[in-house]
């Protein structure tokens, strides 16, 4: 359990800084009922990612991917923002947040209202399920436009395969997104990480970049991470509860 003194220290840092980058991982979505893919009962326990979430396998046989996707998307559509997403919005309204970086594909930050109160960017490192693209002609579609459940797999009018704009294994991160996220981390005054194991590269490059550039670093996570030594404040526990308590101290 976190100490009250640590809550006060985190609140003191956030109160002082107005250029905060918020970085969220899978742990920020578990409180909305979306299991961490790697956890027990998560997606990878039901679907072998080397087959179902592999880009090169997708090119050979998209049916496996869409079987997994249709299972996952039922959960994503029903998911609602939790106190972490709402807390980030509260920080935005206070003029504290300069950018949001997320490893999640659920777009819950946008659903909570992030970006609506300011023009801050939201960098979705691994893409979003809500946008799809033809891998041949690059024509884009909104999630609601494409039927995916009563067919083997969707195909563009040009004949190319349609794929959600999510990053599969063997696929590069969205063009320019990682560079922009790194630039945001390099130029922030405070880097606030919520709910990431910091085990996945290149996303886990971001906290050290911020630290080396002179930013204060705050970690909020249920479990220790390999980078806890760089955190100025580490708060262990429920992210929504902790963030709500910090905001109440501002």
The single-letter DSSP state of residue 234 is: E
Residues 109 and 186 in one domain: yes
Model pTM score: 0.93
Residues 208 and 179 in one domain: yes
Complete DSSP assignment for 28-72: HHHTTT---TTSTTSHHHHS-HHHHTBHHHHHH-HHHHHHHHHHH
Alpha carbon distance 163, 155 (integer Å): 9
* Residue at a domain's end among 110, 141, 166: 166
Q: What is the CATH number of the domain that holds 65?
A: 3.30.1600.10
Residues 8 and 120 in one domain: yes
Q: How many Å separate Cα 246 from the centre of its chain?
A: 21
Residues 246 and 148 in one domain: no
pLDDT of the residue at 140:
96
Alpha carbon distance 207, 4 (integer Å): 24
Residues 101 and 207 in one domain: yes
**Residues involved in catalysis:** 126
* Nearest alpha-carbon partner for 86 in 42, 161, 132, 24: 24
Residue 140's CB: how many other CB atoms inside 10 A? 12
pLDDT of the residue at 74:
87
Residues 88 and 22 in one domain: yes
pLDDT of the residue at 40:
67
Between strands 162-166 and 122-124, the pairing is unpaired
pLDDT of the residue at 204:
95
* Nearest alpha-carbon partner for 96 in 238, 230, 243: 243
Domain of residue 68 covers: 35-78+127-166
Residues 72 and 159 in one domain: yes
Print pLDDT tens along the chain (250 aa): 567 899 999 999 999 999 999 999 999 999 998 987 766 666 777 889 899 999 999 999 999 999 999 988 888 999 999 999 999 999 999 999 999 999 999 999 999 999 887 789 999 999 999 999 999 999 999 999 999 888 999 999 999 999 999 999 999 888 799 999 999 999 999 999 999 999 988 999 999 999 999 999 999 999 999 999 999 999 999 999 999 999 999 9
* Residue at a domain's end among 105, 139, 166: 166
Alpha carbon distance 12, 196 (integer Å): 23
Alpha carbon distance 194, 24 (integer Å): 5
Residues 14 and 44 in one domain: no
Total count of domains within the chain: 2
């Amino acid at each position: 359990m976190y100490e009250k003194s640590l809550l006060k220290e985190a609140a003191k840092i956030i109160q002082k800084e107005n250029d905060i980058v918020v970085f969220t991982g899978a742990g920020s979505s578990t409180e909305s009922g979306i299991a961490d893919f790697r956890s027990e009962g998560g997606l990878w326990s039901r679907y072998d990612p080397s087959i179902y979430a592999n880009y090169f396998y997708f090119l050979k046989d998209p049916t496996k991917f869409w079987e997994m996707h249709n299972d996952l998307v039922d959960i994503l559509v029903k998911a609602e923002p939790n106190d972490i997403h709402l807390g980030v919005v509260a920080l935005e309204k206070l003029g504290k947040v300069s950018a949001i970086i997320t490893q999640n594909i659920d777009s819950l930050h946008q659903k909570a209202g992030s970006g609506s109160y300011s023009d801050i960017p939201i960098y979705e490192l691994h893409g979003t399920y809500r946008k799809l693209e033809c891998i041949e002609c690059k024509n884009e579609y909104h999630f609601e436009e494409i039927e995916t459940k009563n067919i083997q797999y969707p195909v563009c009018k040009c004949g190319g395969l349609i794929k959600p704009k999510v990053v599969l294994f063997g696929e590069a991160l969205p063009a320019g997104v990682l560079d922009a996220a790194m630039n945001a981390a390099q130029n922030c005054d405070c880097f606030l990480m919520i709910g990431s194991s910091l085990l996945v590269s290149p996303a886990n490059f971001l906290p050290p970049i911020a630290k080396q550039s002179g930013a204060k670093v705050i970690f909020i996570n249920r479990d220790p991470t390999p980078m806890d030594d760089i955190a100025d404040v580490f708060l262990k526990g429920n992210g929504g509860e902790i963030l709500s308590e910090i905001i109440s101290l501002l």
